[in-house]
């Protein structure tokens, strides 16, 4: 039976390969961090480019304000580079940085008194949406996200926008995986309820549509 040998080979050769890849990533991050600690500007820029988009995207979604997101992104990386010595090199770097970003956003939300900037979203949707009701759909989804509790919104954005698995989100927010699942499920139901109330769900299909994945 040749498939048995294939399964055995896949089991015993691909799994260690996965661990080696994870170890390679961790070793690569450790080297990058050591270079940053020595003050290497190229390493600082490399670390920035690796995580900046996700940090900025999370800040935009959590703060609903682009200028605030820029300011908070700067603060996040300043704190990251100040406390880089305290990073545990046995754990991945990304959840550690995203945890700092979440904490900074939370602090910023409690301190600011400005109203959220919605004009950015409208411009973005108008440029990206086709001629159907997709623009309205996108706008309603973003508005629904703003109405969510901060922890629900954070979990929704990390899962659906940034594609992070439950375990990584749990590590970022320092909560159990079950809590993260509960928050995400509640966030989804609130968004779905808003879409229904806004009349964006008109068709009543008899069977769920097939999914293409996230």
Partner 1 sequence: MNCTQSLDLLQERLDGLPLVDRTDLDRHIADCPECRQLHAAAARLEDGLRLLSPSVPPPGLTAKIVSRVAADRRRRLVLRRSAIVMAAASVLLAALLAYHPYSHEPGDSWMISKIKETWNSVFGLNDTPVAFTRIHSGPDTVVEFQPEEPSLTASVAEAGSAMVSLSKRAADETVGQTRLFIPEVIPAPPLMTSEPMQPIIEPPTESLRQAGNGMTAALDPVTSSARRAFSLFFREASTVVPAE
- Residue numbers of the site for partner 1 (CB under 8 A)? 39, 41, 44-45, 48-49, 52-53, 56-57, 60-61, 66, 69-70, 73-74, 77-78, 81-82, 124, 128-129, 134, 137-138, 140-141, 160-162, 185, 188, 191-193, 195-196, 200-201, 203-214
CB nearer partner 1, residue 142 or residue 175: 142
Contact 141, 195 (CB under 8 A): yes
We find the least distance from the C-beta atom of residue 66 to partner 1, in angstroms, to be 8
We find the least distance from the C-beta atom of residue 210 to partner 1, in angstroms, to be 8
We find the least distance from the C-beta atom of residue 195 to partner 1, in angstroms, to be 5
Contact 47, 90 (CB under 8 A): no
CB nearer partner 1, residue 2 or residue 39: 39
CB nearer partner 1, residue 19 or residue 203: 203
CB nearer partner 1, residue 5 or residue 210: 210
We find the least distance from the C-beta atom of residue 170 to partner 1, in angstroms, to be 15
| Residue 115 CA, distance from chain mean position | 23
We find the least distance from the C-beta atom of residue 14 to partner 1, in angstroms, to be 22
């Amino acid at each position: 039976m040749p498939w048995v040998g294939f399964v055995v080979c896949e089991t015993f050769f691909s799994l260690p390969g996965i661990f080696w890849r994870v170890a390679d990533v961790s070793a690569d991050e450790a080297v990058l961090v050591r270079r940053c600690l020595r003050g290497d500007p190229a390493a600082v820029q490399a670390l920035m480019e690796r995580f900046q988009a996700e940090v900025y995207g999370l800040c935009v979604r959590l703060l609903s304000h682009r200028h605030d997101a820029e300011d908070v992104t700067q603060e996040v990386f300043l704190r990251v580079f100040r406390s880089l010595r305290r990073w545990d090199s046995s754990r991945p770097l990304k959840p550690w940085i995203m945890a700092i970003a979440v904490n900074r956003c939370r602090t910023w939300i409690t301190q600011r008194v400005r109203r959220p900037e919605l004009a950015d979203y409208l411009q973005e949707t108008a440029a990206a949406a086709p001629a159907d009701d997709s623009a309205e759909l996108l706008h309603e989804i973003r508005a629904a996200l703003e109405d969510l509790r901060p922890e629900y919104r954070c979990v929704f954005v990390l899962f659906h926008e940034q594609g992070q698995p439950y375990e990584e989100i749990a590590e970022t927010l320092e909560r159990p995986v079950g809590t993260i699942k509960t928050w995400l499920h509640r966030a989804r139901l609130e968004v779905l309820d808003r879409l229904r109330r806004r009349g964006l769900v008109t068709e009543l299909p008899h069977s769920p549509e097939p999914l293409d994945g996230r």
